[in-house]
Protein backbone atom coordinates (compact mmCIF):
# COMPACT_ATOMS: atom_id res chain seq x y z
CA UNK A 1 0.00 0.00 0.00
CA UNK A 2 1.34 3.37 -0.93
CA UNK A 3 1.05 6.59 1.00
CA UNK A 4 0.85 8.47 -2.32
CA UNK A 5 -2.38 10.40 -2.95
CA UNK A 6 -4.82 8.86 -5.35
CA UNK A 7 -4.55 10.33 -8.87
CA UNK A 8 -7.26 12.77 -9.85
CA UNK A 9 -9.91 11.16 -11.92
CA UNK A 10 -10.41 12.71 -15.30
CA UNK A 11 -13.91 14.07 -15.51
CA UNK A 12 -15.68 14.70 -18.75
CA UNK A 13 -16.85 18.28 -19.11
CA UNK A 14 -20.57 18.68 -18.45
CA UNK A 15 -22.74 18.34 -21.51
CA UNK A 16 -24.20 21.55 -22.84
CA UNK A 17 -27.97 21.55 -22.92
CA UNK A 18 -29.56 21.53 -26.35
CA UNK A 19 -30.24 24.99 -27.78
CA UNK A 20 -33.64 26.43 -26.93
CA UNK A 21 -36.30 26.38 -29.63
CA UNK A 22 -36.91 29.51 -31.71
CA UNK A 23 -40.53 29.58 -30.57
CA UNK A 24 -41.31 31.03 -27.16
CA UNK A 25 -40.50 33.90 -24.84
CA UNK A 26 -37.04 32.86 -23.68
CA UNK A 27 -33.43 33.79 -24.43
CA UNK A 28 -32.17 32.48 -27.77
CA UNK A 29 -29.74 33.02 -30.61
CA UNK A 30 -30.98 32.99 -34.17
CA UNK A 31 -27.99 31.83 -36.19
CA UNK A 32 -27.17 33.31 -39.59
CA UNK A 33 -25.90 30.84 -42.16
CA UNK A 34 -22.20 31.39 -42.94
CA UNK A 35 -21.75 33.56 -46.03
CA UNK A 36 -25.51 34.05 -46.48
CA UNK A 37 -28.24 36.36 -45.27
CA UNK A 38 -30.47 33.53 -44.11
CA UNK A 39 -31.23 32.53 -40.53
CA UNK A 40 -31.83 28.98 -39.30
CA UNK A 41 -35.53 28.34 -38.84
CA UNK A 42 -36.61 31.73 -40.23
CA UNK A 43 -38.68 31.51 -43.39
CA UNK A 44 -38.35 33.84 -46.35
CA UNK A 45 -41.61 35.75 -46.73
CA UNK A 46 -43.17 37.94 -49.35
CA UNK A 47 -42.77 41.63 -48.59
CA UNK A 48 -46.52 42.31 -48.90
CA UNK A 49 -49.55 40.54 -50.30
CA UNK A 50 -50.08 42.99 -53.15
CA UNK A 51 -47.38 43.32 -55.79
CA UNK A 52 -48.26 46.54 -57.56
CA UNK A 53 -46.43 49.05 -55.33
CA UNK A 54 -43.09 47.27 -54.83
CA UNK A 55 -40.57 45.18 -56.72
CA UNK A 56 -37.87 42.63 -55.85
CA UNK A 57 -38.07 42.74 -52.05
CA UNK A 58 -38.34 39.98 -49.46
CA UNK A 59 -38.51 39.86 -45.67
CA UNK A 60 -37.64 37.65 -42.72
CA UNK A 61 -39.22 38.16 -39.30
CA UNK A 62 -36.33 37.68 -36.85
CA UNK A 63 -37.78 38.78 -33.49
CA UNK A 64 -41.33 39.56 -32.45
CA UNK A 65 -43.54 36.87 -33.94
CA UNK A 66 -42.39 33.69 -32.17
CA UNK A 67 -43.87 34.30 -28.73
CA UNK A 68 -41.49 37.06 -27.61
CA UNK A 69 -43.10 39.88 -25.63
CA UNK A 70 -40.91 42.66 -27.00
CA UNK A 71 -42.41 46.06 -27.66
CA UNK A 72 -40.59 46.03 -31.02
CA UNK A 73 -40.08 43.72 -34.00
CA UNK A 74 -36.81 43.10 -35.82
CA UNK A 75 -37.12 42.21 -39.50
CA UNK A 76 -34.55 41.70 -42.26
CA UNK A 77 -35.47 43.02 -45.71
CA UNK A 78 -33.53 42.41 -48.89
CA UNK A 79 -34.05 44.36 -52.11
CA UNK A 80 -32.72 42.97 -55.40
CA UNK A 81 -30.93 45.30 -57.83
CA UNK A 82 -33.58 47.45 -59.49
CA UNK A 83 -36.09 46.75 -56.71
CA UNK A 84 -37.83 49.02 -54.24
CA UNK A 85 -40.21 49.06 -51.29
CA UNK A 86 -43.61 50.73 -51.38
CA UNK A 87 -43.60 54.53 -51.16
CA UNK A 88 -45.76 54.83 -48.02
CA UNK A 89 -46.36 56.63 -44.76
CA UNK A 90 -47.70 55.74 -41.32
CA UNK A 91 -47.65 56.99 -37.74
CA UNK A 92 -45.05 54.58 -36.38
CA UNK A 93 -41.30 55.15 -36.54
CA UNK A 94 -38.68 53.01 -38.27
CA UNK A 95 -35.02 52.44 -37.59
CA UNK A 96 -33.21 50.88 -40.56
CA UNK A 97 -29.65 49.51 -40.32
CA UNK A 98 -28.05 48.32 -43.58
CA UNK A 99 -26.15 45.00 -43.33
CA UNK A 100 -25.48 44.30 -47.01
CA UNK A 101 -24.75 46.31 -50.15
CA UNK A 102 -25.74 49.89 -50.78
CA UNK A 103 -29.14 51.41 -51.32
CA UNK A 104 -31.16 54.55 -51.37
CA UNK A 105 -33.30 55.71 -48.48
CA UNK A 106 -35.95 58.34 -49.13
CA UNK A 107 -37.75 59.96 -46.21
CA UNK A 108 -39.85 63.05 -46.69
CA UNK A 109 -37.95 65.51 -48.90
CA UNK A 110 -34.61 63.79 -48.55
CA UNK A 111 -32.88 60.91 -50.28
CA UNK A 112 -29.59 59.40 -49.18
CA UNK A 113 -27.24 56.72 -50.42
CA UNK A 114 -26.72 54.41 -47.45
CA UNK A 115 -24.55 51.39 -46.75
CA UNK A 116 -23.40 48.95 -44.09
CA UNK A 117 -23.23 50.55 -40.65
CA UNK A 118 -25.35 53.60 -41.44
CA UNK A 119 -28.52 54.13 -39.41
CA UNK A 120 -31.68 55.60 -40.93
CA UNK A 121 -34.45 57.01 -38.75
CA UNK A 122 -37.85 57.54 -40.40
CA UNK A 123 -40.11 59.81 -38.38
CA UNK A 124 -43.88 59.42 -38.06
CA UNK A 125 -45.94 60.36 -41.14
CA UNK A 126 -42.87 60.89 -43.37
CA UNK A 127 -43.41 59.29 -46.79
CA UNK A 128 -40.52 56.87 -47.28
CA UNK A 129 -39.12 54.27 -49.65
CA UNK A 130 -36.01 52.09 -49.87
CA UNK A 131 -34.40 51.21 -53.22
CA UNK A 132 -31.53 49.18 -54.62
CA UNK A 133 -29.96 50.71 -57.75
CA UNK A 134 -30.41 48.65 -60.91
CA UNK A 135 -26.63 48.54 -61.45
CA UNK A 136 -25.84 47.35 -57.90
CA UNK A 137 -23.39 44.45 -57.59
CA UNK A 138 -25.44 42.83 -54.82
CA UNK A 139 -28.80 43.18 -53.08
CA UNK A 140 -29.43 45.89 -50.49
CA UNK A 141 -30.20 44.18 -47.17
CA UNK A 142 -31.15 45.85 -43.91
CA UNK A 143 -32.56 45.30 -40.46
CA UNK A 144 -35.76 47.22 -39.76
CA UNK A 145 -36.92 47.86 -36.19
CA UNK A 146 -40.53 48.94 -35.63
CA UNK A 147 -43.04 49.04 -32.79
CA UNK A 148 -44.75 45.72 -32.17
CA UNK A 149 -48.10 47.53 -32.14
CA UNK A 150 -48.25 49.78 -35.17
CA UNK A 151 -50.67 51.30 -37.63
CA UNK A 152 -51.14 50.10 -41.21
CA UNK A 153 -49.13 51.90 -43.90
CA UNK A 154 -50.83 54.08 -46.47
CA UNK A 155 -49.37 54.14 -50.01
CA UNK A 156 -48.32 57.56 -51.25
CA UNK A 157 -48.60 58.48 -54.93
CA UNK A 158 -45.36 60.48 -54.97
CA UNK A 159 -47.13 63.75 -55.71
CA UNK A 160 -46.70 66.22 -52.90
CA UNK A 161 -44.09 64.13 -51.05
CA UNK A 162 -41.90 67.23 -50.75
CA UNK A 163 -44.67 69.75 -50.51
CA UNK A 164 -43.33 70.79 -47.08
CA UNK A 165 -39.97 71.63 -48.68
CA UNK A 166 -41.33 73.91 -51.41
Q: Residue 6: its pLDDT value, please?
A: 59
- pTM for this prediction: 0.83
* CB count in 10 Å sphere of residue 106: 22
Q: Residue 38: its pLDDT value, please?
A: 94
Domain count, the chain: 1
Please give the positions annotated as active site.
144
* CATH at 101: 2.60.120.10
Q: Where are the beta strands (DSSP E) in 8-135?
A: 45-46, 55-63, 72-84, 88-89, 94-100, 102-107, 110-115, 120-122, 128-131
Segments forming the whole domain that contains residue 120 = 55-149
CA angle at 109 for the pair 107 and 114, rounded to the nearest 5°: 45
Higher-confidence residue of 7 and 61: namely 61
User: Do the domain assignments include residue 133?
Assistant: yes
User: Do the domain assignments include residue 121?
Assistant: yes
* CB count in 10 Å sphere of residue 16: 6
Q: Residue 130: its pLDDT value, please?
A: 97
Amino acid sequence: MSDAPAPDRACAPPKAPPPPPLEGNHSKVIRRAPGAFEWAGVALEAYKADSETWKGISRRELVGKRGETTKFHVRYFEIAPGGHSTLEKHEHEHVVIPLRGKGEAQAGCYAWTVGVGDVVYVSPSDPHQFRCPADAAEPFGFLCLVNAERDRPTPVDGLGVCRICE
